[in-house]
Amino acid sequence: MISTDIEIWIGAMWVIFAYSFIIKDKDNPLFKFCEATIIGTTAGVFTVLAFDNIRKLGVLPLIEKQAYINIIPLIIGMLLLTQVSRKHIYLSRYPIAIMLGAGIGTAMNRYVTSNIVVQLSSIMVQLPKTPFEIFNVIIVIVGLLSTLVVFTYTRERKGPFGRVTKIGEYFMMAAMGSTFGLLITMRATYVITRLQIIVFELLGLG
């Protein structure tokens, strides 16, 4: 039985609008309407959340708890608004540089900790016992060291150094391939889930 729930109808319509780009292989009014709606809604939601975070984390503590240290991030954040002025747009570079520097530093710390330190420490804490575990440890160490060698640009890639670099490139291709495959699987799962809404919930064929 076809559903009479307006939310299911709206969700199914937006799925059809989004995939109409694939069917017609070009922009069309339905796809453009869906795209504009999603972008506008997302921008609106994130804008409201941003102002709410400024109010909760910046303004209210400053007023209620006299947390005057909050004046600094508030001023830095306000400098981002200078992008609307051609005369003062250069001031927006400072908060952007601060955000990028802090973001890159935090991301690198997490990446090195989770992908290098944790893996090596797990090997050192619990020594491998079975042949399979020993093989895994060798693969991890060889992959780690050879991949790091790939990004060494102070030597010419010839001889043993070049062979190690080639091994590192193979490890990188394997890692990127598996990541790409996982991404495709996730996207396919998302598509199947969306289609299930149309088939089972909207048309009631389940």
Write down the pLDDT at residue 31: 86
In whole angstroms, what is the distance from residue 3 CA to residue 200 CA? Answer: 9
* Long-range contacts of residues 132-140, Cβ cutoff 8 Å, at least 24 apart: none
- Which residues are within 8 A (CB) of 144 and not within 5 positions of it... i.e. 6 or more apart? 116, 119, 120
Both ends of the chain: CA-CA distance in Å?
A: 9
Q: Identify whether 85 is part of a domain.
A: no
Q: Which residues constitute the domain of residue 187?
A: 128-206
Q: Is 27 left (phi over 0), alpha (psi -120 to 50) or beta?
A: beta
Token duo for residue 21: 């780009």
Q: Identify whether 11 is part of a domain.
A: no
Write down the pLDDT at residue 44: 95
Q: Identify whether 97 is part of a domain.
A: no
Q: Identify whether 171 is part of a domain.
A: yes
Q: Identify whether 114 is part of a domain.
A: no
Strand, helix or coil for residue 88? coil
In whole angstroms, what is the distance from residue 204 CA to residue 191 CA? Answer: 18
pTM for this model (two decimals): 0.58
pLDDT block averages, 10 residues each, the chain of length 206 = 81 84 76 90 93 90 88 89 87 91 89 76 73 86 88 84 92 93 91 83 76
